[in-house]
Structure 1
Amino acid sequence: MAGKPADHRDVHIGGLIEERRLRAGLSREALAAPLEVSLSQLGKYLKGANRLSATDLDVVARVLGVPVGFFFEGMPGREGHPSGLSDRPQAPLEALAGWTGFAEAVALAAESHLDREHRQALGSLVRAVDRALSRQQTFDKENNSAPSD
């Protein structure tokens, strides 16, 4: 049994995805790959001709670095909708993110969600981890030796 047909909400969501994809400088191929869909199918999503599943919308949000709720902002009929958990950014899609932006993401999250005392405590923890990691030696597969002091 097929799902519900696409409607004006799907057109709105598809338009926001396309706009955000272009602003991010992301190719259609780069967006279609994590969704595991053809370029033709992606085009249907972007035009709002086909409806995205919740799972696929989550993947798109992570690839584009926006909260899922971003796609519902400004949607006709949703004016005055109260803020909620969807206002927080989605975690990046693990396959694309790596660790490159980890420190920046932690700093931004700490600035947004922690008071000064907790930010300082987090900073102390990060510095302690950095010091501990900088003292470690490279792991040797041949003799499996632990780091020496």
Structure 2
Amino acid sequence: MAGKPADLRDVHIGSLIEERRLRAGLSREALANPLDVSLSQLGKYLKGANRLSATDLDVVARVLGVPVGFFFEGMPGRDQLSPGLSDRPQARLETQAGWTDFAEAVARAADTHLDEERRQSLGSLVRAIDHALSGQHLFDKPDAFGPSD
């Protein structure tokens, strides 16, 4: 039984893989070998003609040094889903309206090069700086239990 046919999302992922491969200076062979696929099959992935499995996408992400989520950023036809009861919002560093080019570059570098824990730490630091610069104070909430002695 064949899987679902490839669509625009697969084209999006394939183009991002090809872009990152070229930026990293990797040959197609260097990407095909860890996937254990032919150059022809890799070309189908890169064009979005064939769909990558989650396992193969994880391998590609590791070879290219990006988080798997990188390939889903800006995905066409993706509706924003509400988090489920078991989903905890994740601190993300992503492009925000009004960010400077420097801040955007830092966010992209963090998403590309830092692990989850360090990304969250950096995100907390950025939020604290943002609150300080905007005149908000993180700990200005009234204490529901009254003053502590």
Q: Shorter-chain TM-score: which interval?
A: 0.5 to 0.7
Matched position secondary structure for 1:69: helix
User: Higher helix fraction: Structure 1 or Structure 2?
Assistant: 1
Q: How does 1:60-139 map to 2 (within 5 A)?
A: 60-78=60-78, 113=121
**Partner of residue 38, structure 2:** 38
Distance 1:27 1:78, change over 3 A: same
Distance 1:111 1:31, change over 3 A: closer
**Partner of residue 4, structure 1:** 4
**Would you say 1:59 and 2:59 are equivalent positions?**
yes
Distance 1:111 1:62, change over 3 A: closer
**Partner of residue 23, structure 1:** 23
2: CA distance, partners of 1:71 / 1:111: 17
2: CA distance, partners of 1:113 / 1:72: 23
Aligned residues of 1:31 and 1:60 also touching (Cα < 8 A): yes
Matched position secondary structure for 1:15: helix
In the TM superposition, what whole-angstrom CA distance separates every residue of 1:97-135 from its partner, at most 9, and x where no partner exists? xxxxxxx979xx65863899xxxxxxxxxxxxxxxxxxx
**Partner of residue 119, structure 1:** none
Aligned residues of 1:14 and 1:45 also touching (Cα < 8 A): yes
Distance 1:111 1:55, change over 3 A: closer
Distance 1:85 1:65, change over 3 A: farther
1: CA distance, partners of 2:119 / 2:91: 19
Shift of 1:85: 5.5
Give the % identical residues: 76
**Would you say 1:48 and 2:56 are equivalent positions?**
no
4+ runs of 1 displaced by more than 6 Å?
none
Q: Which runs of 5+ in 2 are unaligned?
A: 84-88, 94-112, 126-149
For normalisation by structure 1, the TM-score amounts to 0.56
Distance 1:45 1:10, change over 3 A: same
Q: Which runs of 5+ in 1 are unaligned?
A: 89-103, 117-149
Distance 1:81 1:25, change over 3 A: farther
Distance 1:79 1:42, change over 3 A: same
Give the number of aligned pairs.
Answer: 100
